[in-house]
Amino acid sequence: MAVIGWDVGGAHLKGACVEEGRILKVVQLPCTLWLGIEHLERAFADAEAQLGHAQAHAVTMTGELVDLFSDRKEGVRSLIDLVLSRYPVARFWAGEAGLLEGAAAAAQFGAVASANWLASVIFAARHLPAGLFVDIGSTTADIVPFVGGRSLHRGATDGERLAEAELVYTGATRTPLMAVARQVPFAGRLQGVMAEYFATIADVHRLRGVLPVGADLHETADRRGKSAAESAARIARMVGRDFTDAPVAAWRDLAEVFARHQLDQLRVAAHQVLSRGELESSAPLVGAGIGRFLVRDLAVALGRAYRDFAEIVDGPEAMREAASIAAPAAAVAWLAWSSA
């Protein structure tokens, strides 16, 4: 039986097809859901053209958070309705409640909202004895320990997870630089950073040369190009400068400073989670998402081993790599297949 798992986000739609427990197809598409539900409808049509048809569909989501919807209840129920209009037998991931049919999922909208991370953690927990699961996507980072086949999360809702440092609002591409640092050293001074949407962390990692190809699927802050020079110009604007005010090396150095601030945010959050004492020192970080390069750096900073999500996924090598980027979609597809 073929199962397609969907992760319906506010900025991307991800899908993964599982057959006989193996990931055979993965797709990730940009989707500006906040501009209208029709954007998601088009994304589903494009994704389906690549994934083909399946006998079963399993869905998880974070897209209910976009300001297209007045609250999460409306968001979850609207997304359920859209999915069911395309896939009438789809089931919806409700965290510890498992996969629910449409009516039950709508009734338990609070459990369905933003539960995609738990599918990934449970998948990891069924394939590894213990670890700190860290999925860094375009916008957020999930940091969740697991041991003995179960997740050790303390937060369930976004609010609870933010308080527990299990959810950190920093990602590999879409995070505005004003959210990364308020002051940075530059030209011999401690320079204030403008509270304006002039640049994103994608510019930083692009200028550093570490941003994976195809990771940044959305427009830049100024809607210009994605060359290193254009990224440097946007970073320069964050400190009230023009690109021509300093040599390229100075902008690269500044990019490293912003990257260090981001890593510090992640390190502090990981220390908070690890300080509970639930994991042995031998437990590795398990990295997923387009920001896996940051998880590797975080593992070094914490003095822990690193395991990649791709290592625990079955399928062709290219699909294992793709599944690491779309971990919740791959995980919910596998969970649906394994429970069939």
- Which of 239, 264, 289 terminates a domain? The answer is 264
**Judgement on whether residues 192 and 250 belong to the same structural domain of the protein:** yes
Q: Given the DSSP bridges, would you call strands 189-192 and 183-186 parallel, antiparallel or unpaired?
A: antiparallel
**Judgement on whether residues 245 and 318 belong to the same structural domain of the protein:** no
Q: How confident is the model at residue 57 (pLDDT cuts 50, 70, 90)?
A: very high
Residue showing tokens 């990364």: 180
Mean pLDDT of 111-126: 98
> Is 106 domain-assigned?
yes
**Judgement on whether residues 25 and 99 belong to the same structural domain of the protein:** yes
Q: How confident is the model at residue 1 (pLDDT cuts 50, 70, 90)?
A: confident
CATH of the domain at 203: 3.30.420.190
**Judgement on whether residues 325 and 258 belong to the same structural domain of the protein:** no
Q: Is 34 helix (H, G, I), strand (E, B) or coil?
A: helix
Q: How confident is the model at residue 12 (pLDDT cuts 50, 70, 90)?
A: very high
**Judgement on whether residues 18 and 113 belong to the same structural domain of the protein:** yes
3-state helix, strand, coil in the chain (%, to 5): 45, 20, 35
Contacts of 223 (CB under 8 A, 6+ apart): none
Q: What is the dihedral of CA 24, 19, 130, 287, to 10 degrees?
A: 20
Report phi then psi at 164, rounded to 5.
-90, 0
Residue span of the structural domain in which 24 resides: 2-118+312-338
> Is 166 domain-assigned?
no
**Judgement on whether residues 185 and 109 belong to the same structural domain of the protein:** no
Question: Mean pLDDT for the chain?
Answer: 97
**Judgement on whether residues 95 and 8 belong to the same structural domain of the protein:** yes
**Judgement on whether residues 98 and 189 belong to the same structural domain of the protein:** no
Asked if 51 and 5 touch (Cβ cutoff 8 Å), the reply is no
pLDDT (0 to 100) of residue 295 = 98
Quick check: 340 pLDDT over 90?
Answer: no
Asked if 28 and 80 touch (Cβ cutoff 8 Å), the reply is no
> Is 77 domain-assigned?
yes
Asked if 12 and 54 touch (Cβ cutoff 8 Å), the reply is no
Gap between the Cα atoms of 190 and 183, Å rounded: 6
Helices 116-125, 327-338: axis angle to 10 degrees equals 60
**Judgement on whether residues 327 and 258 belong to the same structural domain of the protein:** no
Asked if 76 and 64 touch (Cβ cutoff 8 Å), the reply is yes
pTM of the model: 0.96
What percentage of residues in the chain have a pLDDT greater than 90?
A: 99
Mean pLDDT of 142-165: 97
pLDDT tens for 257-274 read 999 999 999 999 999 999
- Which of 244, 264, 284 terminates a domain? The answer is 264
Quick check: 26 pLDDT over 80?
Answer: yes
> Is 105 domain-assigned?
yes
> Is 306 domain-assigned?
no
Asked if 2 and 11 touch (Cβ cutoff 8 Å), the reply is no
Mean pLDDT of 129-157: 97
**Judgement on whether residues 258 and 331 belong to the same structural domain of the protein:** no
> Is 299 domain-assigned?
no
Half-sphere exposure (Cβ direction) of 234: Cα atoms closer than 13 Å: 27
Paired with 144 in beta bridges are 133
CATH of the domain at 50: 3.30.420.40
**Judgement on whether residues 111 and 54 belong to the same structural domain of the protein:** yes
> Is 156 domain-assigned?
no
Name residue 316's amino acid.
P
Mean pLDDT of 96-121: 97
**Judgement on whether residues 237 and 325 belong to the same structural domain of the protein:** no
Residue showing tokens 């199962």: 3
Q: How confident is the model at residue 184 (pLDDT cuts 50, 70, 90)?
A: very high
pLDDT (0 to 100) of residue 149 = 96
Per the structure, the count of domains in the chain is 2
